[in-house]
Amino acid sequence: MSASPGAAVPDAATPAATPADARPILDARGVTKRFGGLVAVREIDFDIPRGAIVSLIGPNGAGKTTFFNIIAGLLEPTDGAIDFMDELIVGRPVRAWAEPFFWFILPGIAVLVAAGLFAIDQGIAGVIAAVAAIGLLIASLLIAVIRPRWYISTLGRAGIFKSGRPNDIVAQGIGRTFQNIRLFANMTAMENVQVGMHSHMHATLIDAALRLKRHRTEEILSQIEAQKWLDYVGLPKRSDVVARNLPYGDQRRLEIARALATRPKLLLLDEPTAGMNPVETTQMTTLIGRIRKELGITILLIEHDMRVVMGVSDRVTVLDHGEKIAEGTPEAVRADPKVIEAYLGAPAQ
Ligand SMILES: Nc1ncnc2c1ncn2[C@@H]1O[C@H](COP(=O)(O)OP(=O)(O)OP(=O)(O)O)[C@@H](O)[C@H]1O
Ligand SMILES: [Mg+2]
């Protein structure tokens, strides 16, 4: 990862590079979300080109955050599917009924071995095999709850699919911030960023409890990396400040630092300039442009501030009442009568 905190501020509207790979980084097809009788998102087809900044705009209640939450694994869609980097991450379950067989394969073998040994001689070997069967069953069920990456890919190879959970989707490379800031209020800025690194750390609970060298080394490296992200978003001297004591604009930056620490390939930003003054908004717009240009991260942005949207986006998609009503360059969308009517108000006389 090549953060260059001191680098010159680039032109936010300049694409990072011509994407060598023309396939979209994210491809959503027919995504629908119903809340009872309300259709919050209706049959949305949507893709994000690699290396682009794409904005999602629309009036209040248009379904933007709901769509974000579906991508991030926080909400199950009622219908539709989403691929990320050519891999299905969200969609209807496929052969989910077959998953429990995986949990019982190894314990089942141990039970058979134990039964066989008991049949031959009711000695200690049979008891050990029986205890092993119980241990394997507990381990198996724990793995099913924790769902590590290798477990999910093994299921995938067997043709079994379930939508990713939020932590799976972070591990696959989608980071996010929230419309209503969700920091760990009583933790310091640095600790908040370190939480973002969790999915890339290797030390176990036992390493931490025994303060083994692996844990200590990883802790120091994570502090160095966290400081790098704090510097990058413009919070170089705030690492020891408890999150709830940071000014509002800094809390928004800290959320971005935490999201960057997850090492995303796609960053979802839900109204990053909400509540900011004009100076902070300009700084945030510049930061978004730098994240794409310097770090090569693709960005999906929900934003109400039209100066931010028009200044930074390669493409804008407009939602209204859960439906996609327009899509195109900022200029084309701004001139679209449907958008003017739905979002920007009636045209000026
Ligand atoms: N968990 C939920 N249960 C029921 N209805 C919901 C839920 N979440 C969202 N909605 C409804 O879905 C619709 C879309 O909401 P959403 O938050 O996605 O809109 P939005 O475009 O992000 O709006 P805003 O610009 O105000 O943030 C709204 O009518 C909202 O009330
Ligand atoms: Mg919203």
- In the reported structure, the alpha carbon of residue 69 is separated from the centroid of ligand 2 by a whole-number distance in angstroms of 10
| Same topology between domain 1-91+165-173+265-277+299-349 and domain 182-263 | yes
Instruction: Evaluate: CB of 60 within 6 angstroms of ligand 1.
Output: yes
147 to 152, 200, 218, 305: CA distances (angstroms):
6, 15, 23, 39
At residue 50, φ and ψ (nearest 5 deg) are -60, 135
Among the listed residues 189, 187, 176, 132, the one whose alpha carbon sits nearest the alpha carbon of residue 301:
176
List the CATH code of the domain at 182-263. 3.40.50.300
Whole-number Å distance between alpha carbons of 296 and 313: 15
- In the reported structure, the alpha carbon of residue 236 is separated from the centroid of ligand 2 by a whole-number distance in angstroms of 30
- In the reported structure, the alpha carbon of residue 331 is separated from the centroid of ligand 2 by a whole-number distance in angstroms of 23
Instruction: Evaluate: CB of 65 within 6 angstroms of ligand 1.
Output: yes
- Better pLDDT: 99 or 201: 99
Domain borders along the chain are: 1-91+165-173+265-277+299-349, 96-157, 182-263
Half-sphere exposure of 70 (CA within 13 A, CB side): 32
Do residues 267 and 300 make contact, with C-beta atoms less than 8 angstroms apart? yes
| Span of 175-184, 212-221, 228-237 with lowest mean pLDDT | 212-221
State which of 32, 34, 38 you would mutate to test the pocket of ligand 1, scoring each by most atoms of that ligand within 8 A of its C-beta. Answer: 38
The helix/strand/coil state of 204 is coil
Instruction: Evaluate: CB of 333 within 6 angstroms of ligand 1.
Output: no
Contacts of 3 by beta carbon, 8 Å cutoff, 6+ apart: 228, 229, 232, 260, 294, 295
| 60-67 average pLDDT score | 95
Q: What's the pLDDT at 128? A: 82
| Span of 34-38, 71-75, 85-89, 122-126 with lowest mean pLDDT | 122-126
pLDDT digits (tens, 9 = 90+) for 80-112: 999 999 989 999 888 989 998 888 888 888 888
pLDDT > 90: percent of the chain: 56
Q: pTM here?
A: 0.83
The helix/strand/coil state of 268 is strand
Provide Rg for the chain, Cα atoms: 24
Q: What's the pLDDT at 176? A: 94
Among the listed residues 323, 344, 339, the one whose alpha carbon sits nearest the alpha carbon of residue 67:
323
State which of 32, 35, 60, 76 you would mutate to test the pocket of ligand 1, scoring each by most atoms of that ligand within 8 A of its C-beta. Answer: 35
Whole-number Å distance between alpha carbons of 29 and 24: 12
Query: How many CB atoms within 10 Å of residue 120?
Result: 9
User: In 255-280, which positions are buried (b, 16+ CB within 10 angstroms) versus exposed (e)?
Assistant: bbbbbbbbbbbbbbbbbbbbebeeeb
Q: Is the pLDDT of residue 121 over 90?
A: no
Q: Which ligand is nearest to the CA of 58?
A: 1
Q: For residue 21, what pLDDT band results from cuts at 50, 70 and 90?
A: low
Q: How many helices (H) does the chain have, and how many strands (E)? A: 13, 10
Instruction: Evaluate: CB of 317 within 6 angstroms of ligand 1.
Output: no
Do residues 44 and 33 make contact, with C-beta atoms less than 8 angstroms apart? no
- In the reported structure, the alpha carbon of residue 307 is separated from the centroid of ligand 1 by a whole-number distance in angstroms of 24
- The CATH number fitting domain 1-91+165-173+265-277+299-349, selected from 3.40.50.2300, 2.70.98.60, 3.40.50.300, 3.40.50.2020: 3.40.50.300
- In the reported structure, the alpha carbon of residue 132 is separated from the centroid of ligand 1 by a whole-number distance in angstroms of 49
Which of ligand 1's atoms lies nearest the C-alpha of 319? 21
Q: For residue 9, what pLDDT band results from cuts at 50, 70 and 90?
A: very low
- In the reported structure, the alpha carbon of residue 196 is separated from the centroid of ligand 1 by a whole-number distance in angstroms of 26
